[in-house]
Structure 1
Amino acid sequence: MDYFNLSIRLEELYLDWASRDKHFTKNSENFGGIRMLRQDPWENLVSFICSTNNNVKRISKMCENLCIHYGDFLVEYQGIKHYKFPEPERLAQPNVEAELRTLGFGYRAKFIQQTAQMLTKKDEFAKLYSMRTEPHKTCHEYLQTFMGVGPKVADCVCLMSLDKHDVVPVDTHVFKIATKTYRMPGKLLNKDLYAQIQDKFKQLWGEYAGWAHSVLFAADLRDLNNGINIKTEK
């Protein structure tokens, strides 16, 4: 119930977004049932540090390698071994950066090791989780104190694990949607335009704007929207 945010009724949200936005129904017709997960903040933070200048396949492989090499073994099922996501103490060790580089993490290895090290300090790990009850601005600023976390990554973590449902992270896909579909002016994504796009979508889609953005984001991805008619339960 918690991880899948099942207390939130998607069908009602889709109807609300469609009533507010003429583009929503057209662009989301094959993408019903997309739900925002309530992910673990620590795991989510590290995963998005891995995401910088990266693709989904490599990000997934990096997260899998973190579990295999540093997480506790859980169970083997149908020939596949499953491991727990490692705690900060396991990734904070001085040798971790070099080990992660040999596993293909590149410059992200330093960011992960130093972020883990920060979260081993007294009360810091609990503070990360306490951000679920803090305003977006407080969360956004706090997350950017970690190595490798900029405005977009901070907003992704806010939306996907810290209960900031109205936050719209703005990357190249969302920037394209804003300027092409919603006719927002701007050729270069800067700090001011980032804020304007966020405000535009919050006003348009309401308190679950981040969820609405994820539907259009999925519809914009070529590997998901490749002539396939996807129908799922709302």
Structure 2
Amino acid sequence: MRAVLLLIRFLTIATITVSIGLCNGNLAGPCKEGEKQALLTFKQHLKDPANRLSSWVGEEDSNCCNWTGVVCDNLTGHVLELHLGNSNSLLNSTLPWGVRYLNLSKAGFEGIIPHQLGNLTSLRYLCLGDYKYNLKVENFQWVSGLSHLEHLDMSSADLSKASDWLQVTNMLPSLKELHLFGCGLYHIPPLPSINFNSLAILDLSANVFTSSMPKWVFSLRNLVSLSLNNCGFQGPIVNLGKYRGE
């Protein structure tokens, strides 16, 4: 996970916005030397079997603003965006006051997700999905500081040790989408109160729960999509209208 730590440090220094999908660089520049060296160091800890980052070279006349996947400010030369991964970008604009969109799915990282991600307090969108258990989470306390988070996707990360996953996500006031497909979850801890006031999409499919389905799920008034395929819940499905007061 050293690559992720390096990325977090760079995000803090250069306030870049990270999204998915490699694209051509722009013609801004020249880029800042410190940011260029940070990118080169970051590259050393990435897996790039397709050699997509072949333009990321350290020659003196190499302008990092023209590197594949790097977008710079046309006036200042500061790096604003990094496009990494395998799918199309969902980002339309940059936000200079802080990173709001961070999508690192399929980026090849391994190990424990660093708690320093919780320092990116402006995040609205965080995707660390599709790692097939190569990423692990020991607790969710670092998520608790992301009070603006609207979309959280950690599908296929190993959350089996994160016993506080529900308590923490329940306290995120802006959360609209929670995707935890195939995360090795096996326990639904009790909730003293339900705060999922904005939650519209909940995916707990392909986990290994052994309890009955929690009744609070059916009291979520803004819920429009609920995915529970092969999640292990036992017992009958209760009357949804009963718990919504319909």
Q: TM-score, normalised by structure 1?
A: 0.25
Higher strand share: 2
Rg (Cα) greater in structure: 2
Q: TM-score, normalised by structure 2?
A: 0.24
Q: Which has the higher contact order (CA 8 A, sep 6+)?
A: 1
Higher helix share: 1
